[in-house]
Amino acid sequence: MIEREAAVRAVEEQLERDYQQWRAVSADAVRTVVLHVEEHELVWIVWWQSEEFARTGECMLLGTGPYLVDRVDGGLHEIGIVSAKTGAWEDDYRARIRGLPVRTAVDDLHDALCAVAATRGRMHAVRTLRQRLPVFSPAEAIEYVSALLEGDAPASLVAIVTKELVEPVNPALAANTVLSGAAIRAGQRPER
């Protein structure tokens, strides 16, 4: 487990790298510091701002959203301010970065189809599927529901359902990896 102090240190190192990079191209580079840290079940959320703001409290538009430091492997990620304020980053982080299962509209559809099949029969479940997803032919809907009731729906048909029901992650709301936990363990540093 990554402790709070280690998370702060990782972000401070990244802020220094960013400062040096900006300093190389502009004399107006602004130093930044960690303002506060929030504990989350998956990550440490590390907020940062300019040194001047930290000292004076005078508003200065600088930066984006916070850094996320993975509490398991120490990976360093960044998210935008809108994603940070709305929590939109969480499902993306769980699924894409941690590889954890996340419920989607496909899971809800599967639950509904199984419930209809249990109470009204397989053909009612097929009709329900075709009403919700008219893209399926009757034969595909029968194949889908039959396979679902026996265990798993065919991957090719699940891909169609996913495309129709699950909105892709807006890149502006996604968590972007700055440095993976594996790279940190290997002693690598980003070249940003």
User: 133 pLDDT exceeds 80?
Assistant: yes
| Mean pLDDT of the 4-18 span | 95
DSSP conformational letter for 167: P
- CA-to-CA distance for 164 and 146, rounded, in angstroms? 20
Q: Give 177's contacts (C-beta < 8 A, 6+ positions apart).
A: 75, 76, 77, 97
| Mean pLDDT of the 183-188 span | 71
Domain ranges of the chain: 4-101+170-185, 105-165
DSSP conformational letter for 135: T
| Mean pLDDT of the 36-48 span | 96
User: 60 pLDDT exceeds 90?
Assistant: no
| Mean pLDDT of the 18-28 span | 91
Residue 134, SS3 per DSSP: coil
Structure confidence at residue 188 as a pLDDT band (50, 70, 90): low
User: 163 pLDDT exceeds 90?
Assistant: yes
User: 191 pLDDT exceeds 60?
Assistant: no
Q: What is the pTM of this model?
A: 0.76
| Mean pLDDT of the 123-138 span | 97
Quote the percentage of the chain above a pLDDT of 70: 94
Return mean pLDDT, the chain: 91
Q: Which two tokens stand for residue 185?
A: 């363990």
Give the per-residue pLDDT at 189: 60
Give the per-residue pLDDT at 126: 98
- CA-to-CA distance for 29 and 1, rounded, in angstroms? 34
Give the per-residue pLDDT at 51: 86
**Which of these, 80, 7, 72, lies nearest to 38 by C-alpha position?**
7
**Which of these, 81, 11, 86, lies nearest to 43 by C-alpha position?**
11
